[in-house]
Amino acid sequence: MSVSAPASVSAPPSHAARCVVLPGMRGPWTERLFSALLQAPGTDIEVDDLAVGAHGALQDHDLQLALYVAYELHYATIEGVDDRWEWSPSLLGFRQTAERHFDRAVEELVPDCALQGTTDVGGALQRLVGGDEGPPLSRFVEARATREQVLEHVIHRSAYQLKEADPHSWAIPRLSGAAKAALLEIQFDEYGEGKPERMHSFLFAETMRGLGLDASYGAYLEQLPGITLATVNLMSGFALHRRRRGAIVGHLAAFEMTSSIPNRRYGNALRRLGYGPDVTDFYDEHVEADAVHENIAAWDLAGALARAEPQLAREILFGAYALLALEGLWAERLLDCWREGASSLLGPVASAEHSVR
């Protein structure tokens, strides 16, 4: 009889190599991309007739999944897909077409007045974040969300948190001097200060496991709606284009500046539902870590970058505002679905249902 090891065995944490299974196709964008990816690298991908769905690029489940998978080639192995696709010209052409639609939709969200006050970027970021009127997702989750809704929230976040900090690391070689040092001060902490078991992506995986969810990388891609994937595509897009280094820096600053308080609430939600420190550790860690990071990000990173390259100040604020706007749309989807008694995911989640206590 085979007995599985108890979860409490203090073996070194496993960090399995990332391998994503291609999810099901959702429409013309994913059909075009996925069928090409299963062929030899460089296979033509026709893009001329691809258009955005009726709900716009940000809410287009099909376009956003295609773009997410196109970026995923830089982060992970995709099962059955030749790694050489990563830099294949036909893939990059396809990605650029999707990015054009995505970028236009993001630009439409950001009002020009949000990008002013650019001589004092740290102060402008503070005002931007302080004036943000995002939907009250963390308050709702803290006080009222059901266990299933909390699990949904975690599943949405797995699109980013299982590779937490990785997109922003693309910016490291693109910065210099004080801004680079500040980014590395943050990233070193994100990556556990040399301890793999303290890496934030690992802490998130522990939370998922503690909740009975599948913590393997990409396990819930199938269920993630377009707007969730858009929040991650936003950072991958900023991060993978050097010309957008200001935007990825602004994105990180706003991310850190809006993290401590919501994460305390998410931890409280799990405590309310009876979970212990093994599950809340990820959130509790972020209350303290991001109270440090937000200052470094706003003043030492964004501020230093704006001093070194003053022409990037507007782009830094753009990245910050874009994050707030997309997170707002994402939170709105969750709250709207829950208000109607519906799931905010696309389709059922098998392992979450198994784990209902």
Partner 1 sequence: MSSSDTPPGVTITPYRDGPYLVRGSFEVLDQDGNQIPLSRRTIALCRCGKSRMRPFCDGTHKLAGFQAPGRAEELPGPPDANPGAPECRRAR
Tell me if 330 sits within 8 A of 227, measured CB to CB. yes
Query: By the criterion CB under 8 A, which residues form the site for partner 1?
Result: 108-111, 113-114, 116-117, 122-123, 126-131, 133, 185, 188-189, 193, 257, 259-261, 264, 285, 287-292, 294-296, 299, 324-325, 328
What is the CB neighbour count within 10 angstroms for residue 188? 12
- Rounded to a whole number of angstroms, the minimum distance from the CB of residue 127 to partner 1 is 4
Gap between the Cα atoms of 327 and 135, Å rounded: 9
- Rounded to a whole number of angstroms, the minimum distance from the CB of residue 29 to partner 1 is 25
Tell me if 211 sits within 8 A of 153, measured CB to CB. no
Nearer to partner 1, 89 or 111 (CB): 111
Tell me if 225 sits within 8 A of 347, measured CB to CB. no
Nearer to partner 1, 296 or 352 (CB): 296
Gap between the Cα atoms of 41 and 86, Å rounded: 9
Nearer to partner 1, 239 or 298 (CB): 298
Taking the chain, what is the end-to-end CA distance rounded to the nearest angstrom?
26
Gap between the Cα atoms of 224 and 234, Å rounded: 15
In the chain, which ranges are continuous DSSP H helix?
28-37, 61-72, 89-109, 121-130, 137-143, 147-161, 166-169, 177-190, 200-210, 226-240, 245-257, 260-272, 277-295, 303-308, 313-339, 350-354
- Rounded to a whole number of angstroms, the minimum distance from the CB of residue 17 to partner 1 is 27
Nearer to partner 1, 127 or 241 (CB): 127
Gap between the Cα atoms of 62 and 64, Å rounded: 6
Nearer to partner 1, 123 or 173 (CB): 123
Place of tokens 């993978």: 240
- Strand 77-78 with 19-20, pairing: parallel
Structure tokens at 170: 């693309």
- Rounded to a whole number of angstroms, the minimum distance from the CB of residue 166 to partner 1 is 19
Nearer to partner 1, 47 or 110 (CB): 110
Nearer to partner 1, 210 or 262 (CB): 262
- Rounded to a whole number of angstroms, the minimum distance from the CB of residue 260 to partner 1 is 3
- Rounded to a whole number of angstroms, the minimum distance from the CB of residue 31 to partner 1 is 31
Nearer to partner 1, 166 or 189 (CB): 189
Nearer to partner 1, 46 or 120 (CB): 120
Nearer to partner 1, 105 or 221 (CB): 105
Question: Which of 145, 261, 270 lies closest to 203, judged by CA?
Answer: 270
- Rounded to a whole number of angstroms, the minimum distance from the CB of residue 107 to partner 1 is 10
Residues 6+ apart with CB under 8 A from 349: 151, 152, 155, 220, 223
- Rounded to a whole number of angstroms, the minimum distance from the CB of residue 18 to partner 1 is 26
Backbone angles phi, psi at 62, to 5 degrees: -75, -50
Tell me if 232 sits within 8 A of 160, measured CB to CB. yes
- Rounded to a whole number of angstroms, the minimum distance from the CB of residue 321 to partner 1 is 8
- Rounded to a whole number of angstroms, the minimum distance from the CB of residue 56 to partner 1 is 11
